[in-house]
Amino acid sequence: MKRIPAEKRIATSVLVIGSGGSGLRAAIEVAERGGDVTVVGKRPKSDAHTSLAAGGINAALATMDPGDSWQQHAADTLKESYFLANPHTVEIVTRGAERGIEDLVSYGMPFAREDDGRISQRFFGAHTYRRTAFAGDYTGLEIQRTLVNRAAQLSIPVLDTVYITRLLVTDNTVFGAYGFDLEDGTRYVFHADAVILAAGGHNRIWRRTSSRRDENTGDSWRLAVDAGGRIRDPELVQFHPSGLIAPENAAGTLVSEAARGEGGILRNALGERFMSRYDPERMELSTRDRVALAEYTEIKEGRGTPDGGVWLDVSHLPRQTIMERLPRVYQTLLELQMLDITREPIEIAPTAHYSMGGVWVRPEDHRTDVVGLYAIGEASSGLHGANRLGGNSLIELLVYGRIVGETAAEYSARLARQERSEAALEQARAEVDGLLANDGAENVRALQRAVRNTMTEHAGVVRDEAGLLAGLAELAEIEKRMRDIGVHPDIAGFQDLAHAFDLKAAVLAARATIEAALERRETRGAHNRSDYPQLDESLQVNLVWSGPGQITRETIPPIPDQIAALMRDVSTAGKLVE
């Protein structure tokens, strides 16, 4: 008789996978409604990726500009998505944004305020009005702290060192998840009526990225696809314009967009303020895709710094402005480079920053194709299209966290019976057992590096068919080598096993990204095809990936007339690189 490893069994109405902003907000909603909820994460909740978001959170509060409205916020979002965002999703987020801010305030969020008590709001690139609320330049950190505190008040259990390896599904209905403890390897079986995926995106699969090691490796995508879900628009990846180049171990660390919002200037190695060539009207306040592409072009055409970057200069701003509005940028550069930004410019380059695509979900409640399974935050899709406006991701967490928490709690309360499948559980056990039994010659970390090199060389800021096909060939070779990996837990814990699952996720996410990038034969937003430099109206669709070689085109609903009336034409002037 086969020995079953020691397992802890936990039953909960709703299981949330991911302890960042979206996961905690969903869990808070379930708990406030009297539901039973458990949160699991593979890193400490206080150190979730949400805490790195610097610049701010969007809502048409009209505290600074009375003319602002949710309709204008929606119009800006849809316009800058290059018409790939779902109008229903956009309306839900922009309509619900004020409620999202109110929720945060009620939990104790310390927003920056004007002298008369109004919440301060500032400009972010491509917004018509000042609608970005903030707390210094560490907004995400304060939001995460606020949500962690609220979760603690509600006594929500958060397991910080549990890695989820597989969702448990039978007859296309989720009934829980399987995982292990990163420190001692203890297995976990979670029985749950509903499961919420909130484990982030996939931008760690590039060499220079704003994500830290072992986060945003595509976990949500792999879990969803293995369970029977699909991925929408995996090729649409936002490259943030301002990632640090040095030191190497911190390459990609973000310099907040607030640095440009407060008046920072971009210059090339010749000292030229080069944004005048790419967007003379908005200059440094242009959209992220255009600024990133402008930097890429300057570097590629030989006007970059010797280390392959450009200069971001805030030294002309008053020192008091920098210390009050950009304190985290100031501190980060002092710690990492001993650089005083009040005196010297910062060397930056585009860095993989945000997955604008993600798990396919319905706009109204973020249900996936699998009954009882939901996805939120960067794990999901529908809001950003081909270009995400700065500050929109944080408000998405609050709006859909509340909606999905409510929906999952109601689904659990209505459930007539709970599904179970010993076969599904045995499959999850066997997957972990198989990796632990591996004693191959291939090093997991080396293969992770190979994936990052492939994506950087062949699927970065600018792509073409030859490069993407070369990337697929390299990926196929990596997939072969994965069969011979060695997994070696040691006295320090089971991180090596986690890295092996991260690798599986990264390879799936890389394949989805490259295959969809090949299919999108046009240049639109953050997706730049040098061999197809024009926008193709026939490709104003979402690409939905359901496995290797399986891509379908999904029609996008029409934009409501009241929103369309507020939109300007999307200009591509100065955008095309080759």
Q: In which residue are the tokens 């302890």 written?
A: 19
Alpha carbons 221 and 510: distance in angstroms, whole number: 11
- Tell me whether residue 302 is exposed, middle or buried, using C-beta atoms within 10 angstroms of its C-beta: 0 to 12, 13 to 18, 19 or more: exposed
Whether the pLDDT of residue 204 is over 50: the answer is yes
Mean pLDDT (whole number) for 107-125: 93
Is residue 187 a contact partner of residue 489, using CB atoms and an 8 Å limit? no
Is residue 113 a contact partner of residue 125, using CB atoms and an 8 Å limit? no
Nearest CA-CA partner of 243 in 215, 270, 210, 291: 210
Rg of the chain taking only CA atoms, in angstroms: 23
Q: In which residue are the tokens 């702290």 written?
A: 145
Q: Which pair of tokens denotes residue 220?
A: 């949500």
Nearest CA-CA partner of 436 in 379, 486, 495: 486
Secondary structure of residue 245 in the 3-state scheme? coil
Least confident segment among 66-70, 128-132, 249-253, 534-538: 249-253
pLDDT of 130-162, one tens digit each? 999 999 878 999 999 999 999 999 999 999 999
Secondary structure of residue 438 in the 3-state scheme? coil
Mean pLDDT (whole number) for 181-204: 97
Nearest CA-CA partner of 234 in 552, 502, 555: 552
Is residue 231 a contact partner of residue 512, using CB atoms and an 8 Å limit? yes
Q: Following DSSP, what letter does each residue of 26-44 receive, concatenated?
A: HHHHHHHTT--EEEE-SS-
Alpha carbons 542 and 86: distance in angstroms, whole number: 9
69 against 256, higher pLDDT:
69
Q: Which pair of tokens denotes residue 344?
A: 């010297």
Is residue 408 a contact partner of residue 14, using CB atoms and an 8 Å limit? yes
Secondary structure of residue 522 in the 3-state scheme? coil
First-to-last C-alpha distance (Å) of the chain = 64
Q: In which residue are the tokens 């501190």 written?
A: 331
Q: Give the Cβ contact number of residue 572 at 10 Å.
A: 15
pLDDT of 351-388, one tens digit each? 999 999 999 999 999 999 999 999 999 999 999 999 98
Angle at 225 between CA 221 and CA 227, to 5 degrees: 120
pLDDT band at 125 (very low <50, low <70, confident <90, very high): low
Residues recognised as catalytic: 240, 260
Angle at 62 between CA 59 and CA 64, to 5 degrees: 115
pLDDT of 477-495, one tens digit each? 999 999 999 999 988 899 9
Whether the pLDDT of residue 394 is over 80: the answer is yes
Helix/strand number for the chain, H first, E second: 15, 20
Mean pLDDT (whole number) for 290-311: 94
Mean pLDDT (whole number) for 485-506: 94
Is residue 99 a contact partner of residue 25, using CB atoms and an 8 Å limit? no
Is residue 59 a contact partner of residue 548, using CB atoms and an 8 Å limit? no
Mean pLDDT (whole number) for 439-456: 95
Whether the pLDDT of residue 578 is over 50: the answer is no
pLDDT at residue 49, rounded to an integer: 86
pLDDT at residue 3, rounded to an integer: 62
pLDDT at residue 154, rounded to an integer: 98
pLDDT band at 575 (very low <50, low <70, confident <90, very high): very low
Is residue 262 a contact partner of residue 326, using CB atoms and an 8 Å limit? yes
Nearest CA-CA partner of 561 in 97, 68, 74: 74
Q: What is the percentage of the chain residues whose pLDDT exceeds 70?
A: 97
pTM: 0.92
Strand partners, 310: 348
Mean pLDDT (whole number) for 112-126: 90
When the pLDDT of each residue in the chain is averaged and rounded to a whole number, the result is 94
Angle at 384 between CA 378 and CA 386, to 5 degrees: 115
pLDDT of 214-256, one tens digit each? 899 999 999 999 999 999 999 999 998 899 999 988 888 889 8
Q: In which residue are the tokens 């009620």 written?
A: 106
- Tell me whether residue 36 is exposed, middle or buried, using C-beta atoms within 10 angstroms of its C-beta: 0 to 12, 13 to 18, 19 or more: middle
Alpha carbons 418 and 193: distance in angstroms, whole number: 7
Mean pLDDT (whole number) for 496-522: 98
For the chain, the 3-state helix, strand and coil shares in percent, each to the nearest 5, are 40, 20, 40
Angle at 221 between CA 410 and CA 144, to 5 degrees: 65
pLDDT at residue 577, rounded to an integer: 29
Going 278 to 282 to 284 to 286, the CA torsion angle's sign is: negative
Sorted by sequence, the CB contacts under 8 Å of residue 239 that are 6+ apart come out as 288, 289, 292, 296, 350, 351, 352, 353, 460, 461, 526
pLDDT band at 190 (very low <50, low <70, confident <90, very high): very high
Sorted by sequence, the CB contacts under 8 Å of residue 385 that are 6+ apart come out as 78, 80, 81, 82, 83, 84, 85, 233, 236, 356, 525
Alpha carbons 74 and 566: distance in angstroms, whole number: 9
542-547, strands of its sheet edge to edge: 358-359, 231-232, 542-547, 550-554
H/E stretch holding 141 reads helix 139-153
Whether the pLDDT of residue 472 is over 80: the answer is yes
pLDDT band at 4 (very low <50, low <70, confident <90, very high): low
